[in-house]
Structure 1
Amino acid sequence: MTLSLAAVLAEPAWRQPDKTAVIQGAERLTYSELWAQARGQAAAIRELGVQPGDRVALMSPNVTDFPRSYYAILAAGAVVVPIHMLLTPEEISYILRDSGAKLLIAHCIRAEDAVKAAALAETPVRLVGPVPDGAVLPKLAEDVARVEPLTTYTSRQAEDPAVVIYTSGTTGKPKGAVLTNLNMVMNATVNGFDALNTVREDVSLGCLPLFHIFGQTVSMNTNFRLGATVVFQPRFEPDEAIDLMLEHGVNTFHGVPQMYLALVQAGKARRAAGKPLPKLKIAVSGGAALPAAVLEAFNETFDAQIMEGYGLSETSPTATVNQPRLGARAGTVGHTIWGVEVEVARAEVEEAIEFVPHGELGEIVVRGHNVFAGYLGNPEATAAVMVDGWFRTGDLGTKGEDGFVTIVDRKKDMVLRGGFNVYPREVEETLLRHPAIRDVAVIGIPDEVHGEEVCACVILDEGAALTAEELIEWSKEHLAKYKYPRRIEFVSEFPLGPSMKVLKRELRDRFAG
């Protein structure tokens, strides 16, 4: 069966050619304009020797260059390898070599590092964006000017790779998760037409990094699949985000918990100053567990309910989400999306899938059209997570008889204190109720007596005063004896990964001594 992710942009380009597809700064592009520009780049990519099935790396912020080059690569029949913007040249070159990329397309704001990384990996490079006049740099626009645009996209098979997403590498070298055309098209289609009730009249704020699967699928591909409009914000900043929502009538927001926390702070300040706030039809959270205190504060500040969902790079990403038609329940990640199964298996049994009864804690496993084709060139890593056709997520959770799925924590983040399991998310949810705490991350650190001890890394609200002893005493009143943190570390900020997840490994390394 032929199927290409490129069709997600090609279809609305002929169905509604004059509809605005993207807004970024002063630039507005209709669907027909964006698709024409993508076909122009696709022809240039083919002239550079890229063949169907080849992999092409793309490094760009959330500007129109990202979708233009993303769909150009797909239209040429090639596979997109997104690279996040904060990597060093050495890290970029690793991905280029590991993926076997035949070309690197990079935004000019990373020109120097892109050229260096490409040289290290012996990979051709072309720059997009406003390259300074007179600069002796390889510009893709010059290649585009020499060729005629492709008439349409190159045909691909549904099971052919479309995108290779590299994991953040928190446990060693990053691995490339291979996502097929079927994975990506189905996730965008089911998200838009079924799970989230998106319509073509909606306007979404695209502030999630597009090199990450959440932003790529939910913010970009899902909206394009429906013919909606996306307003890009190159770098998330809460006050600017609110301004963009008000200016462009944004009614849909997708974000990670750190973004919602920042929006709550900015929204409260605006409301206190008598300034308007946007009216949101739907807000979707993913990428990490959303603390109940943040959800409640956002609902109160913006008068909008957050629909929390769940997924991973290996699941394209959406596996479950709170869906308007099925009802939402705070503290859960909702129901499975259409065509996907999510169950709970015994975490201690790794060689087979043994399901646990409803409501019992275990490892979340996923099966369906969203599950990836495996890790690129790494059959051992693939075999470790794919068992009996199910993808083992490494997340612990429960599933109720009513189908609601709840994520408790990552297996690797669980703290084993004195023989008792302590789940950091539960402790974090409790500590976030303290009026002086803005954010918290709970980790386990080595302890000679108990094996591991519970440590809370805390960011205080501006102007708040709180001692470690006071917080420990408060915790004793709200948590079981084996759960409350015996160690408190006050920090000004958390180390964040490319998808704004807290890097707990770095916190453990910092405070384990």
Structure 2
Amino acid sequence: MEVQKPWLHLYPDEIPHYTEFDNLPLQAYLTKAADEFPAKTAIHFLGKELTFREVHEQSLKLAAYLQELGLKKDERVSIMLPNCPQAVIAYYGVLFAGGIVVQTNPLYMERELEYQLNDSDAKYIITLDLLYPRVSKMKALTGLEHIIATSIKDYLPFPKNLLYPFVQKKQNQIVVKIEHGGHTHQFKEIMKRENTEVEVFEVNAKEDVALLQYTGGTTGFPKGVMLTHENLVANTSMCTSWMYQCRRGEESVLGILPFFHVYGMTAVMNLSIMQGYKMILLPKFDATDTLKAIDKLKPTLFPGAPTIYIALLNHPDLKKYDLSSVESCISGSAPLPVEVQEQFERETGGKLVEGYGLSEASPVTHSNFLWSHRKKGSIGVPWPSTDSVILSFETGKPASFNELGEIAVRGPQIMKGYWKKPEETAAVIKDGWLLTGDIGYMDEEGYFYIVDRKKDMIIAGGFNIYPREIEEVLYEHEKVQEVVVAGIPDPYRGETVKAYIVLKEGEEATEQEFDEFARKHMAAYKIPRIYEFRQELPKTAVGKILRRSLVEEEKEKLKNAN
């Protein structure tokens, strides 16, 4: 397919049209960083600092231990951790051991965790002690054999590490004691070992999978996106080319985006390791803590999602904090409102631009320029080595300028396919092109715009939420006759989850009843914020529920209210 690339004439001289990268496995970049910046701080975590040499050495210790437990090349290891030093060490440790990382959201409830462990065939999991009661139940339900548990306090500085258990009790969190032995292992005990000898496997960077990144879809359960070493190295290299004013070994990156989300993994963790940047990690997003961290620790890069920037800008004490260290931010995960972009740039003096991507693309494919021409409301232009085209709905061929169609992308960051799902892979990858399912257009200059999604995915607070998954849970409630879930406009979260329910005849129920039911079966971010009980739902002639018409109804209500 012939592709017009009008965007290339917009590239500043500093950005190459094609990014070159070494044919190396991803973990080799940690070895290179440890050689080049051995004593430089790689991670700052709540006052504790680790050098690149320490992160490298501890990753090798974990790799050696995993191999002793029997981990073979390409076996899957689940990592179920918030942003903390252990998340970085575990990620690279699994790769050094020859394994494949399975990113697992720490918010997952039992049924979600059971599905992912069974689908990925993971025999090993690295998780928090707080999550141990939930995770340990998986041994009877999945092929899970070994649990490696760690505590936040393991990497806290003195005296925070001593005070942490008292803080847990005060917050009514459970304090879990885990014995090191048998099939349960303590991360801190592994780190006391001297052994860093690892059997090195030959890695074909183009073909060998480094990561299974689970993503949902309208077809039901989440799918494991197979991202190769080359996919991840290529996308991180593109990020480096795009942010050409950043200085190797000198920047510091605020790590709020979770590493179990593909954007945080690439734009914070892998970028920092590859470029010798300091990562300033926060285990969860709290607006006050984030403002304090920027004021005190002076990060220069701040990848985020619109909800994060909105929360900071609306903080009552915003003016008390100095945010001027922030030089550049690429916003992902959801559309970035223009007024948020403008206000954030006024507050920091730095640049905030919108980007676009998806798990299947490692994840970034488009972005606005940070330091040159850009268009507000646009997702920008394709990154180096990346082709993109709008496919006409009528012809299936490249559309004319400003004509609506489906966005397709091609490049070295595009996934190998979906794990154990060849038919679904074939449906979205055609002749090397990834069909994104997003509807948009390209203007004459080469800027891309998103108008809608073919998928019914909801993006709320930066999280991807899939209606079908929530509907399946709610259908298990004994009072439900019909249910449909939709994303409705929300000024803060972008969209919020709403469930429309038709009860069985003679039944009565409350929102609270359904909220309590949902909380037992789903991660908190998926739970509907609003429930509406109806006598019937809009449907097509063949009985398919019209989700889109409900969304249009909500938009109309919002318009009339304003």
- Structure 1-normalised TM-score? 0.79
Tell me the residue number matched to 1:194.
242
Tell me the residue number matched to 2:230.
182
Whether contact under 8 Å (2:309, 2:340) holds in the other structure is yes
Tell me the residue number matched to 2:386.
340
Tell me the residue number matched to 1:427.
none
Secondary structure of 1:173 counterpart: strand
Whether contact under 8 Å (1:284, 1:309) holds in the other structure is yes
Tell me the residue number matched to 2:220.
172
Tell me the residue number matched to 1:420.
none
Secondary structure of 2:227 counterpart: strand
Q: Which runs of 5+ in 1 are unaligned?
A: 415-430, 459-467, 476-513
| CA distance 1:472–1:134, change in 2 (3 Å) | closer
Whether contact under 8 Å (1:63, 1:232) holds in the other structure is yes
Instruction: State the alpha-carbon separation in 1 of the partners of residues 95 and 497 from structure 2.
Output: 41
| CA distance 1:347–1:84, change in 2 (3 Å) | farther
Instruction: State the alpha-carbon separation in 1 of the partners of residues 237 and 494 from structure 2.
Output: 36
Instruction: State the alpha-carbon separation in 2 of the partners of residues 34 and 25 from structure 1.
Output: 16
C-alpha displacement of 1:338: 1.0
Instruction: State the alpha-carbon separation in 2 of the partners of residues 145 and 240 from structure 1.
Output: 31
Q: Does 1:292 align with 2:338?
A: yes
Q: Which runs of 5+ in 2 are unaligned?
A: 1-21, 155-174, 458-488, 501-536, 541-545
Secondary structure of 1:111 counterpart: helix
Tell me the residue number matched to 2:402.
359
C-alpha displacement of 1:13: 0.4
1:388-444 CA-partner distances (Å, limit 9, x unpaired): 221000001111232211112212359xxxxxxxxxxxxxxxx99xxxx65664899
1:59-103 CA-partner distances (Å, limit 9, x unpaired): 111000000010000011111001001111222121111111131
Q: 1:70 aligns with which of 91, 113, 118?
A: 91
C-alpha displacement of 1:105: 1.5
Instruction: Output aligned runs, 1:479-490, within 5 Å.
Output: none
One-letter code of the match for 2:208? D
Tell me the residue number matched to 1:14.
35
Whether contact under 8 Å (1:43, 1:144) holds in the other structure is no
Tell me the residue number matched to 1:206.
255
Aligned residues: 440
| CA distance 1:362–1:335, change in 2 (3 Å) | same
Q: 1:257 aligns with which of 300, 303, 306?
A: 306
Instruction: Output aligned runs, 1:436-451, within 5 Å.
Output: 441=495, 447=538
Whether contact under 8 Å (2:217, 2:455) holds in the other structure is no
One-letter code of the match for 1:270? L
Instruction: Output aligned runs, 1:334-483, within 5 Å.
Output: 334-347=380-393, 353-413=396-456, 441=495, 447=538, 452=549, 454-455=551-552, 472-473=559-560
Whether contact under 8 Å (1:188, 1:217) holds in the other structure is yes
One-letter code of the match for 2:318? R
Tell me the residue number matched to 2:113.
92
Instruction: State the alpha-carbon separation in 1 of the partners of residues 51 and 271 from structure 2.
Output: 16
| CA distance 1:147–1:194, change in 2 (3 Å) | same
Instruction: Output aligned runs, 1:39-54, within 5 Å.
Output: 39-54=60-75
Secondary structure of 1:412 counterpart: coil
Instruction: State the alpha-carbon separation in 2 of the partners of residues 255 and 438 from structure 1.
Output: 14
Whether contact under 8 Å (1:250, 1:278) holds in the other structure is no
Instruction: State the alpha-carbon separation in 2 of the partners of residues 278 and 201 from structure 1.
Output: 17
Instruction: State the alpha-carbon separation in 1 of the partners of residues 260 and 120 from structure 2.
Output: 15
Tell me the residue number matched to 1:493.
none
C-alpha displacement of 1:143: 5.0
Instruction: State the alpha-carbon separation in 1 of the partners of residues 244 and 327 from structure 2.
Output: 10
Instruction: State the alpha-carbon separation in 2 of the partners of residues 257 and 347 from structure 1.
Output: 30
Whether contact under 8 Å (1:65, 1:128) holds in the other structure is no
Tell me the residue number matched to 1:500.
none
Supply the RMSD in Å over aligned alpha carbons: 2.9
Instruction: Output aligned runs, 1:472-511, within 5 Å.
Output: 472-473=559-560
Structure of greater relative contact order (alpha carbons < 8 Å, 6+ residues apart): 2
Instruction: State the alpha-carbon separation in 1 of the partners of residues 190 and 496 from structure 2.
Output: 51
C-alpha displacement of 1:2: 5.7
Instruction: State the alpha-carbon separation in 2 of the partners of residues 385 and 53 from structure 1.
Output: 25
One-letter code of the match for 1:223? S
1:222-250 CA-partner distances (Å, limit 9, x unpaired): 12111011100100011111111111111
Instruction: State the alpha-carbon separation in 2 of the partners of residues 453 and 302 from structure 1.
Output: 39
| CA distance 1:61–1:448, change in 2 (3 Å) | closer
**Is the deviation greater in 191-200 or in 55-64?**
191-200
Secondary structure of 1:139 counterpart: strand
1:320-344 CA-partner distances (Å, limit 9, x unpaired): 1112355222111112111111111
Whether contact under 8 Å (1:163, 1:180) holds in the other structure is yes
Secondary structure of 1:113 counterpart: helix
C-alpha displacement of 1:379: 0.5
- Structure 2-normalised TM-score? 0.72
1:452-499 CA-partner distances (Å, limit 9, x unpaired): 2555769xxxxxxxxx98x64465xxxxxxxxxxxxxxxxxxxxxxxx
Tell me the residue number matched to 2:471.
none
**Is the deviation greater in 401-410 or in 36-45?**
401-410
Tell me the residue number matched to 1:425.
none
C-alpha displacement of 1:19: 0.9
